[in-house]
Chain A
């Protein structure tokens, strides 16, 4: 082998070593982002705890009824059939149980997810019957590009139907 060939091989080795170094740095920068340990755990806890706490919550002024009873009420008589639903808000202008649950959910979400500008969807639906009774959401477009989303649901049996209450949280 000539001397020039040795030099070319030396140069190639240097180029390979530098490229490996650069690749290592790039990999480190890409993978070494923030840990999502807390967020993944907290998101899952938040969603399930929110749903459980919400359905157990006693209405402020609706005959000591819990949210789950009010949901049961408006689903069993029909969510658009306001006249036959339990009349809530006994401290002010009466409103139907459906509107009351909607208003309360808004009130609670205003102080939690809306305030923190989170992308979320809160939904009450009867999936088998293809009926959606309530849907409160914010910035759902962000869910499409979100790296992680958490969906939790609880099921309430109402007159033989399985009513699902969902909370979907997007990063």
Chain B
């Protein structure tokens, strides 16, 4: 082999390694970007569920109130029942809440002493990529018997 051929071989080798590194770097960068995007989606979903929880927590539609003063962490049983019927039967009501709760599901389950269930909102999607669930303890107040039950406010958020 001549010296020039060896030089040529060296240059080719260097070029191959260089392109290999470029391709590897590019695919690595793409994967990192994809992963970051997925992470960001997840963070957004988490922020969304916190936002929904805050909204549901302070909704005067079902919050307990005594002498026009709302009580934190307390839901009125009769308001929940009325809301359940309203959102289910009245036209346009669900559409209004879609803007507020998006693709999520909200229900309240009594865990002590009874086991009543209140389906507040349901706009779940069939095929989802991510799902986040939270269950926060709340009081459910029965204004007739003046008793407080303990329940869980369950919120599920879906994302494609």
**Residues in A lying within 8 Å of B, measured CB to CB:** 25, 28, 32, 34-35, 37-38, 41-42, 45-46, 49-50, 52-54, 56-58, 60, 64, 66, 104, 107-108, 111-112
Selected contact of B150 from candidates A32, A35, A46, A108, CB within 8 Å = A108
Residue of B nearest to A60 (CB): B113
Q: Is the CB of A107 within 8 A of B136?
A: no
A108 partner residues in chain B, CB cutoff 8 A: 111-112, 150
Q: Is the CB of A42 within 8 A of B136?
A: yes
Selected contact of A35 from candidates B39, B53, B135, B147, CB within 8 Å = B39
- Taking the nearest CB of chain A, how far is it from the CB of B38, in angstroms? 10
One digit per residue, 1 when the CB lies within 8 angstroms of any chain A CB and 0 when it does not, for chain B 141-160 equals 00000111111100000000
Can you list 24 A-B contacts (CB < 8 A)? Answer: A34-B42, A35-B42, A37-B50, A38-B49, A38-B50, A38-B132, A41-B50, A42-B50, A45-B53, A46-B136, A49-B136, A49-B138, A50-B137, A53-B73, A53-B137, A53-B138, A53-B148, A56-B74, A57-B139, A57-B148, A64-B146, A108-B111, A108-B112, A112-B152
Q: Is the CB of A32 within 8 A of B42?
A: no
- Taking the nearest CB of chain A, how far is it from the CB of B75, in angstroms? 10
B151 partner residues in chain A, CB cutoff 8 A: 53
Size category, B interface = 20 to 34
Which 5 pairs between the two chains have the least Cβ-Cβ distance?
A60-B113, A38-B46, A58-B147, A50-B137, A53-B137
Complex Cα gap A49–B72 (Å): 9
- Taking the nearest CB of chain B, how far is it from the CB of A77, in angstroms? 24
Complex Cα gap A37–B53 (Å): 14
From known contacts A38-B134, A57-B148, infer whether A32 and B73 are also in contact, taking CB-CB under 8 Å.
Answer: no
- Taking the nearest CB of chain B, how far is it from the CB of A19, in angstroms? 14
- Taking the nearest CB of chain B, how far is it from the CB of A73, in angstroms? 17
B53 partner residues in chain A, CB cutoff 8 A: 42, 45
Residue of B nearest to A107 (CB): B112
B134 partner residues in chain A, CB cutoff 8 A: 38, 42
B137 partner residues in chain A, CB cutoff 8 A: 46, 49-50, 53-54, 112
B93 partner residues in chain A, CB cutoff 8 A: none
Residue of A nearest to B114 (CB): A60
Q: Is the CB of A58 within 8 A of B32?
A: no
From known contacts A38-B49, A38-B50, A108-B150, infer whether A52 and B139 are also in contact, taking CB-CB under 8 Å.
Answer: yes
Question: In residues 15-37 of chain B, which contact A (Cβ within 8 Å)?
Answer: 28, 32, 35-36
Q: Is B8 an interface residue (CB 8 A)?
A: no
B138 partner residues in chain A, CB cutoff 8 A: 49, 53
One digit per residue, 1 when the CB lies within 8 angstroms of any chain A CB and 0 when it does not, for chain B 76-90 equals 000000000000000
